[in-house]
A and B are shown apart, each in its own frame.
Chain A
Amino acid sequence: MTIQQAKADALAARLGAGAEGQGGSTQQSWLGAAQAAALARVQGMGLPGKRDEYWRYTDPSTLNVPKALSAALFDNRGEPRPFSAVDRLKLVFVDGVFDPAQSDSLALEGIEIERLSQAAANPSHWAAGLYGTLEARGQTPVERPFAALNTAQADEGVLIRVTGKPSRPVSLIYLRKSVDCDAILHHLIKVESGAELTLLENGPAAARLSKVMEVEVADKGRFHHVRTQGRDHDRRAISHIFARIGAGALFKSFTLTANGRLTRTEAFIELLGADSVAHIAGASVGDGDFHHDDTVFVTHAAERCESRQVYKKVLKNGAVGVFQGKILVKQGAQKTDGYQISQSLLLDDDSQFLAKPELEIYADDVKCSHGSTSGAIDDTALYYLRSRGVPLKQAQSLLVLAFLAEAIAEIDDETIAEDIRGRLEAWLHRHEHAGNGQ
């Protein structure tokens, strides 16, 4: 059996599973058309295999299997949920399905929010002709079959059009009740010229989550994104951000990942207008059977843009962290300022960090730097703290948080950053001792 055949068979089996509702919309609607186009795309690719360069460090097999493997529900023992201290508009999904009863009213000044499945009925909807196209653009130069599969299958998600500066962040909350269900979510966000949105996401969503978020930021638009991926350890998740950024615009995204047997977080960001800024950052902490993969591709296609990729991973007891990050500077993207750092703090000898930093530059007047390191806690700093009376465990936690600080610094809102810091502190406290409790 050829590799290509195996990939096609994996796709056929996954599509055949049916239970997850595929292309629910009629071919006539714009959503149906987008689903059909995406289906054709993914059929041309098949699902990824271990031999694929882009999947060299992360085994896709549990994402490929027709049905989600079961994942125990996590009991957070009454701890406050992420972003509790933030005044926000809450949209709640349970097992990947929007739950109006638990959600706030969708009305908010300066923003239009609609459910994907409902908007599809409107042929002249702003999302028609945009939905799915950012994902399609993101298929070159590297194929992302799970994203195309998502577009082909998703009929749940939100469409958000930001025309002003809404007074509070929009918060997408992904709860789960079923131990073994798949969730497929596809969001489209359009930040109009001069508009600004903060989007929060949290929760595990499902035993297996496939999520695509397409973000278009028009000239002078500003988009802030902070998410935490939920602590259900057995869950698997593959999520993609596809962003297209106009001139003088800002895009910022931060992701916290704690626990998780398999989490792959992809981002494909294009800077298409001059003088824009894109920062994407992640902090992840894993103990034991943890595999977390950040795969990031930033394209500079306009002059004087700045991009930063800041990824920090804390790994122990055999946890594995992966970083594949690329900065592509196209011809003519002069005065590009590109920065990429990926670092891991290995708390023991069993853990592993695999990094593939890449730069590809076709302009001659650019500033690009990248770095990747793996190391242990600095013994000298540890001794200094202890010599001042800070107990060993507390000193270690302090240094781990210090290691993560550069990534957390990418969150502009101090209340949200403090929430993230508190979560990391609590995680470190729970994981001070051997064993991988959650």
Chain B
Amino acid sequence: MLEIKNLHVKLADEDKVILRGLDLSIGAGEVHAIMGPNGSGKSTLSYVLSGREGYEVTDGSAKLLGEELLEMEPEARAAAGLFLAFQYPVEIPGVGNMTFLRTALNAQRKARGEEEVSAGDFLKLVREKAKTLKIDAEMLKRPVNVGFSGGEKKRNEILQMAMLEPKMCILDETDSGLDVDAMKLVSDGVNALRDAGRSFLVITHYQRLLDHIKPDVVHIMAAGRIVKTGGPELALEVENNGYADLLAEVQA
């Protein structure tokens, strides 16, 4: 599904190198988790994959279903099936949440040569998906993320994911700012989307999210590289012992 090879990235307007030869391979239907200390480059990886400006790829490649992502515009990556659930979902005053969802859905369909969804069908679909995420009609009417609580913003991200049905989902610290109940709700939303044809990359600091969204593979990232890869037990090890021991072991 996603094949990242030797990815090197620096900040576009500074000489700061963030990713230093990152390799990652995620198969169809798999759930991978990336953990790592602050500043290891986890969020940068998600931004670079989704096409945010301000980063310069100096080497390497990232392919989604064989297509080079790094050469595409952000909207083309989305149409190709990539979705990033933001750590800090963006507030857009003046754009209604419904308008936003429908515009995005139809733009992707158009880009793929599919027919646009009618207003009626869209409404039915969004109501059904919103209900399971406990998103009420009021939240759908409001401007995108404006006045939403931290939990509401994250639920709104998952709603977008459910509507857009991407193939490769990246969740960037989706657990940050969530209470226990909200985390369960969001995780249930994600688990409902797990499918043989859909893969997930879950970026998190805490093992707790991984109790809800059970990963197949766990990676530890440090200084812009994957330094260790293992099963779900690796996340428990981090939870119990912290990164220090683990990183010392890798460096040794």
A:378-392 near B, CB below 8 Å? 379-381, 383-392
Interface presence of B108 (CB below 8 A): yes
Taken residue by residue from 44 to 71, chain B's Cβ proximity to chain A (1 for < 8 Å, 0 otherwise) reads as 0000001111000000000000000000
A384: chain B residues at CB < 8 Å are 86, 89-90, 92
Residues of A contacting B164 in the complex (Cβ-Cβ under 8 angstroms): 388-389
Interface string of B106-130 (1 = CB under 8 A from A): 0110010000000000000000000
Contacts of A381 in B (CB 8 A): 90-92
B12 within 8 A of A: no
Kindly state whether residue A74 has any CB partner on chain B within 8 Å.
no
How far apart sit A250 and B185, CA to CA, in the bound complex (Å)? 47
Asked if A179 is at the interface (CB within 8 A of a chain B CB), the reply is no
Contacts of A354 in B (CB 8 A): none
Q: What is the bound-complex CA distance between A392 and B72, given in angstroms?
A: 12
B17 in contact (CB, < 8 A): no
Tell whether, in the assembled complex, residue A391 and residue B107 are in contact, meaning their CB atoms are under 8 Å apart: yes
Q: Does A113 contact B (CB under 8 A)?
A: no
From B50, B93, B103, B105, contact of A387 by CB (8 A): B50
Which of B74, B103, B105 has its CB near the most chain A CB atoms (within 10 A)? Answer: B74
Q: Is A394 part of the contact surface with B, judged by Cβ < 8 Å?
A: yes
Residue numbers in A under 8 Å from B133 (CB-CB): none
Residue pair A391, B95 in contact (C-beta under 8 Å) = no
B160 within 8 A of A: yes
Q: Which of A53-80 contact B (CB under 8 A)?
A: none
CA distance A405 to B94 in the complex (A): 6
A60 and B86 CA atoms in complex are apart in Å by: 51
Tell me whether A136 is interfacial, beta carbon within 8 Å: no
Tell me whether A390 and B103 are in contact in the complex, defined as CB-CB below 8 angstroms, given that A380-B90, A383-B52, A383-B53 are known contacts: yes
The reply to whether B90 and A388 form a contact with Cβ atoms under 8 Å apart is no
A394 touching B90, Cβ below 8 Å: no
Q: Contact: A398 with B74, CB < 8 Å?
A: no
Which partner residue on chain B sits nearest A384 by CB separation? B90
Q: What is the CA–CA distance of A390 and B51 in the complex, to the nearest angstrom?
A: 13
User: Which listed residue, B90, B94, B104, touches A389 by the CB 8 Å rule?
Assistant: B104
**Contact B86–A389 (Cβ < 8 Å):** no
Shortest A101–chain B CB gap in Å is: 41
The reply on B84 being an interface residue by CB < 8 A is yes
Pairwise interchain contact A389-B111, C-beta atoms closer than 8 A: yes
Q: Mark A388-414, 1 if CB is under 8 A from B, else 0.
A: 111110110011011111100000000
Contact of A389 with B95 in the complex, beta carbons under 8 Å: no
State A383–B92 Cα separation when bound (angstroms): 11
- B44 nearest CB across to chain A (Å): 14
- The verdict on A390 contacting B107 (CB below 8 Å), with A383-B53, A383-B74, A384-B86 known, is yes
Output the nearest chain A residue to B90 by Cβ-Cβ distance: A384
Proximity string of chain A (327-361) to chain B, C-beta cutoff 8 Å, 1 when within and 0 when not: 00000000000000000000000000000000000
Q: In the bound complex, what is the Cα–Cα distance between A395 and B153 (angstroms)?
A: 20
Bitwise interface map of B from 157 to 192 toward A, beta carbon under 8 Å scored 1, else 0: 000100010000000000000000000000000000
Which of B75, B89, B90, B93 has a CB less than 8 Å from the CB of A390? B75
Q: Which chain B residue shows the least CB distance to A409?
A: B94
- Verify B78–A392 contact, CB threshold 8 A: no
CA distance A43 to B98 in the complex (A): 57
Which residues of chain B are within 8 angstroms of A388 by Cβ–Cβ distance?
A: 78, 100, 104, 107-108, 160, 164
Q: Is the pair B94, A386 in contact by a Cβ cutoff of 8 Å? A: no
Complex Cα distance, B86 from A406, in Å, reads: 27
Verify B50–A406 contact, CB threshold 8 A: no
Q: Across the interface, which residues of B come within 8 angstroms of A399, CB to CB?
A: 92, 94-95
How far is it, in angstroms, between the C-alpha of A379 and the C-alpha of B99 when the chains are bound?
A: 19
Q: Is B7 an interface residue (CB 8 A)?
A: no
Contact at B94–A401, with CB atoms within 8 Å?
A: yes
Please give me the residue from chain B that is nearest to A400 by CB atom. Answer: B94
Flag whether B73 is at the interface (Cβ < 8 A): yes
Q: Whole-angstrom distance from the CB of B243 to the nearest CB of chain A?
A: 29
Assembled-state Cα–Cα distance A391/B78 (Å): 10
Nearest Cβ on chain B to A281's Cβ, whole angstroms: 14
Interface set of B (CB-CB < 8 Å, partner A): 50-53, 73-75, 77-79, 83-84, 86, 89-95, 99-100, 103-105, 107-108, 111, 143, 160, 164
Known: A386-B78, A387-B52, A406-B94. 20 other contacts (CB 8 A): A380-B90, A381-B92, A384-B90, A386-B51, A386-B73, A387-B78, A388-B108, A389-B78, A389-B104, A389-B105, A390-B104, A391-B111, A395-B75, A398-B103, A399-B95, A401-B94, A401-B95, A402-B93, A402-B143, A404-B94
Provide a sorted-by-A list of 30 A–B residue pairs whose CB atoms are within 8 angstroms: A381-B90, A381-B92, A383-B53, A384-B86, A384-B89, A385-B92, A385-B100, A387-B51, A387-B74, A387-B83, A388-B104, A388-B108, A388-B160, A389-B78, A389-B104, A389-B105, A389-B107, A389-B111, A389-B164, A390-B107, A394-B107, A398-B99, A398-B100, A398-B103, A399-B94, A399-B95, A402-B92, A404-B94, A405-B93, A406-B94
Which 3 A/B pairs are nearest by Cβ-Cβ distance? Answer: A402-B94, A389-B78, A405-B94
